[in-house]
Copies of this chain bind each other. A is one copy, B any other.
């Protein structure tokens, strides 16, 4: 009896210590990558490659500066072949797939990689993907989503793109639990990391509920929004980077030139429009951005490194 009491007491006394020890000892994503726990790690990620020539040209130019170091490709879009040629010539580039289930510019549209009659739930009355992520998510049959995103991955590989990661154009695949489960299943099958941030968990509880211990995800996403005025563009980014918390952050940006093609595509949509993308290009290829990275000891990392953590 005495032994039992001692044992129970020991458990009661030791339990908080063990739990605390376990919590503090759980490796952060930074530590799993081999960096110190307080390292500030940043992925500078350009979305929407393949959408338009202007996007491809500006993003490739930005890659050449070394300051933008990752991007993702929209397989269904008309300029895929141009960026696929770049991927074949630059196999070290950190290029993922921006899985696409929306076609958001009213004058400039695209549709699925799958035959249209196999993925009818993904298409609007004109045979294109829906304009909005909410429309896409509310109509989408998860089986057809799985077919289509799998086809996008297969087509990318057939064109010589070796994707290092996956994300979802306009966030369609994060719109509800069913779609997110499809997304995660396809990503796990392909052993590819997915754009998932701990900072999203509070607003979508199906995210942590769906993840497993060995899934790889980052700490937070940083992105600009339409409340920032053009004059405050550089200030917004520089301040955010100065204040970066330790861990892995992905800054999600949209690069293109403010040219005829992008103005034509985005004529009725200044948010994420031609001038917006030119501002992103100007900041992320600037000396000001280079300086703020250096002064704040921020280390650029890629999804390729994160992908190596996947067993």
User: Which chain A residues have a beta carbon within 8 Å of chain B's beta carbons?
Assistant: 52-54, 56-57, 77-82, 85, 106-110, 113-118, 125-127, 155, 158-159, 257, 259-261, 264-265
Contacts and interface: CB of A to CB of B under 8 A. Distances in A.
A108 B126 contact: no
Given A117-B115, A126-B158, A261 B53 contact: yes
A259 to B, nearest CB: 5
A82 B103 CA distance: 14
Contact of A81 (B56, B117, B126): B126
Most buried by B among A52, A78, A108: A78
Contacts of A257: 260
Nearest to A117: B115
A87 to B, nearest CB: 12
Contacts of A116: 114-116
Most buried by B among A53, A82, A159: A53
A76 to B, nearest CB: 10
B106 A81 contact: yes
B127 A53 contact: no
A159 B107 CA distance: 12
Nearest to A77: B78
Nearest to A116: B115
30 contacts: A53-B107, A53-B108, A53-B260, A53-B261, A54-B260, A54-B261, A56-B264, A57-B260, A57-B264, A78-B78, A79-B108, A81-B108, A81-B109, A82-B107, A82-B108, A82-B264, A85-B106, A85-B107, A113-B127, A114-B116, A115-B116, A115-B117, A115-B118, A116-B116, A117-B118, A127-B155, A257-B260, A259-B259, A259-B261, A260-B260
A226 B39 CA distance: 60
A265 B79 CA distance: 9
A1 to B, nearest CB: 76
A198 to B, nearest CB: 37
A32 B77 CA distance: 46
A127 B84 CA distance: 14
A53 B264 contact: yes
A51 to B, nearest CB: 10
Contacts of A57: 260, 264
Contacts of A80: 109
